[in-house]
Amino acid sequence: MPRTCFIFNPTAGTGRRAEFPELLARYFGTESRGDYVLRPTEGPGHATELAQAAARAGCRVVVAVGGDGTVNEVGQGLLHQEHTAMGIVPRGSGNGLARHLKVPLNLGRALRRLREPAFSRMDVGRVNGRPFFCTAGLGFDARVSQQFAQAGSRGLSTYMRVTLSEYRTFESVPVVVETNGVTLETNCYVLAFANASQYGNNAYIAPDANLQDGLLDMCLMDALPPWRAVQVVLGMALGTLPRTGGAAYSRTSHTTVRAATPIGCHADGDYLGHGTDFEFDLLPLALEVAV
Ligand SMILES: Nc1ncnc2c1ncn2[C@@H]1O[C@H](COP(=O)(O)OP(=O)(O)OP(=O)(O)O)[C@@H](O)[C@H]1O
């Protein structure tokens, strides 16, 4: 088996897709030389199967070529591997984990880095047992993920349009949060659990999040009236949200949430459905990354 396997989601992102195999050949030589294999995905969940197969076959690096959804699926296939690391070639619209890890957004530069990557390990978050690598959460951001998936187009402008339109109608849900031995009765507009610092597109929900500290940064907004929404948008763009008072922060390795009525949940921007009972926890240093 070659040293590197590229798992390529041809549907990810908004850019030109056909050029990736040619670009890969330019930086890694042709596939026939045997240095790498290129495996296109055929649908949701396929990247996890391909990553598991590549790890079983002895690949040192399995590269997710796509956005945070593809990264999530490849990462799930490589959990607890001792000898196989995940690389990223960012081709999504948000690229939250790639941006946190400072992977170049330019495809050529990202590929060049992968010829001699640096290896490290990172924590992996979970919501009700389902792994996430960047962020997961309840409330407004899950509603946006749900509507974004049905929007028919992708990219930042669609994301902004969906966010504004949902903002007009979304209402907080009462929740009971148990974390760090404390029970908190509050309302949830957004309850975010951040393993990495951002949602993507440099929207920093938890700028101080650390991938190796064994903790998730928990960010609670109980309501979002217009004046606070402006504060939050600016704080996320500037990476200053924890210091603006627009949201309350704490750190946790295990939190349960019970909602009074069903509330939406997302993991790495994928809408997972509505529910009332959630458990957020973490697998310390469960994934090796090559960047
Ligand atoms: N061949 C395929 N056809 C349709 N969907 C696919 C295919 N391969 C993978 N997928 C799905 O595409 C989804 C979106 O991929 P991904 O998140 O990587 O791209 P994106 O949504 O454009 O990027 P971002 O998350 O940064 O906005 C993934 O959740 C994956 O399950």
| Mean pLDDT value of segment 203-222 | 98
The CATH number of residue 185's host domain is 2.60.200.40
Q: Give the residue whose CA is nearest to atom 8 of ligand 1.
A: 43
Across the chain, mean pLDDT equals 94
Residue-wise over 95-132: b if at least 16 C-beta within 10 A, else e? bbbbbbbebeeebeebbebbeebeeeebbbbbbeeebb
Q: Which pLDDT score, from 0 to 100, does residue 267 have? A: 97
Q: Which pLDDT score, from 0 to 100, does residue 1 have? A: 62
Instruction: Please tell me whether residues 157 and 105 are part of one structural domain.
Output: no
67 CA from centroid of ligand 1 (Å)? 7
Instruction: Please tell me whether residues 151 and 270 are part of one structural domain.
Output: yes
Query: Which of 41, 88, 145, 198 for a ligand 1 pocket mutation test, highest count of atoms within 8 Å of Cβ?
Result: 41
Establish whether residue 10 lines the binding site of ligand 1, counting it when its CB lies within 6 angstroms of any ligand atom: yes
Last residue of a domain, one of 117, 139, 167: 117
157 CA from centroid of ligand 1 (Å)? 18
Band the pLDDT of 237: cuts 50, 70, 90. Answer: very high
- What was the ipTM of the complex prediction? 0.96
Measured in degrees and rounded to the nearest 5, phi and psi for residue 240 equal -120, 10
Instruction: Give residue-wise pLDDT tens across range 12-45.
Output: 876 656 688 888 999 888 777 788 999 999 999 9
Domain annotation covers residue 125: no
Instruction: Please tell me whether residues 163 and 260 are part of one structural domain.
Output: yes
Establish whether residue 43 lines the binding site of ligand 1, counting it when its CB lies within 6 angstroms of any ligand atom: yes
244 CA from centroid of ligand 1 (Å)? 34
76 CA from centroid of ligand 1 (Å)? 15
Residue 255 has pLDDT above 80, yes or no: yes
**CA distances for 279 relative to 65, 168, 254, angstroms:** 30, 29, 7
Establish whether residue 99 lines the binding site of ligand 1, counting it when its CB lies within 6 angstroms of any ligand atom: no
Instruction: Please tell me whether residues 143 and 273 are part of one structural domain.
Output: yes
92 CA from centroid of ligand 1 (Å)? 8
Establish whether residue 90 lines the binding site of ligand 1, counting it when its CB lies within 6 angstroms of any ligand atom: no
Instruction: Please tell me whether residues 137 and 107 are part of one structural domain.
Output: no
Cβ atoms of 159 and 67 within 8 Å: the answer is: no
249: Cα separation from own chain's centroid = 19
268 CA from centroid of ligand 1 (Å)? 11
Last residue of a domain, one of 85, 117, 149: 117
Establish whether residue 200 lines the binding site of ligand 1, counting it when its CB lies within 6 angstroms of any ligand atom: yes
Measured in degrees and rounded to the nearest 5, phi and psi for residue 231 equal -60, -40
Domain annotation covers residue 36: yes
Residue 154 has pLDDT above 80, yes or no: no
Instruction: Please tell me whether residues 39 and 150 are part of one structural domain.
Output: no
Establish whether residue 92 lines the binding site of ligand 1, counting it when its CB lies within 6 angstroms of any ligand atom: yes
Domain annotation covers residue 287: no
Establish whether residue 96 lines the binding site of ligand 1, counting it when its CB lies within 6 angstroms of any ligand atom: no
Residue 215 has pLDDT above 70, yes or no: yes
Name the CA dihedral angle for 161, 164, 168, 174, rounded to a multiple of 10 degrees: 120
How many domains, in total, are found in the chain? 2
Q: Token digits for 145? A: 């993920």
Q: Which numbered atom of ligand 1 lies nearest the CA of 66?
A: 18
Domain annotation covers residue 124: no
Instruction: Give residue-wise pLDDT tens across range 56-99.
Output: 999 999 999 999 999 999 999 999 999 999 999 999 988 999 99
Angle between helices 68-77 and 46-56 in degrees, nearest 10:
40
Residue range(s) defining the domain that contains residue 98: 4-117
Establish whether residue 58 lines the binding site of ligand 1, counting it when its CB lies within 6 angstroms of any ligand atom: no
Domain annotation covers residue 251: yes
Establish whether residue 87 lines the binding site of ligand 1, counting it when its CB lies within 6 angstroms of any ligand atom: no
Residue 270 has pLDDT above 80, yes or no: yes
Instruction: Please tell me whether residues 108 and 194 are part of one structural domain.
Output: no
Instruction: Please tell me whether residues 81 and 137 are part of one structural domain.
Output: no
Instruction: Please tell me whether residues 112 and 164 are part of one structural domain.
Output: no
Instruction: Give residue-wise pLDDT tens across range 216-227.
Output: 999 999 999 999
Q: Which pLDDT score, from 0 to 100, does residue 16 have? A: 59
Domain annotation covers residue 123: no
Distance CA 184, CA 176 (A): 6
Residue 274 has pLDDT above 90, yes or no: yes
Last residue of a domain, one of 60, 94, 117: 117
The CATH number of residue 67's host domain is 3.40.50.10330
Establish whether residue 72 lines the binding site of ligand 1, counting it when its CB lies within 6 angstroms of any ligand atom: no
Band the pLDDT of 156: cuts 50, 70, 90. Answer: confident
Q: Token digits for 241? A: 């949200």
End-to-end Cα separation, the chain, in angstroms: 21
Instruction: Please tell me whether residues 167 and 103 are part of one structural domain.
Output: no
Band the pLDDT of 208: cuts 50, 70, 90. Answer: very high
Distance CA 174, CA 271 (A): 20
DSSP string of 38-59, one letter each residue: EEE--STTHHHHHHHHHHHTT-
Instruction: Please tell me whether residues 241 and 138 are part of one structural domain.
Output: yes
Instruction: Please tell me whether residues 62 and 138 are part of one structural domain.
Output: no
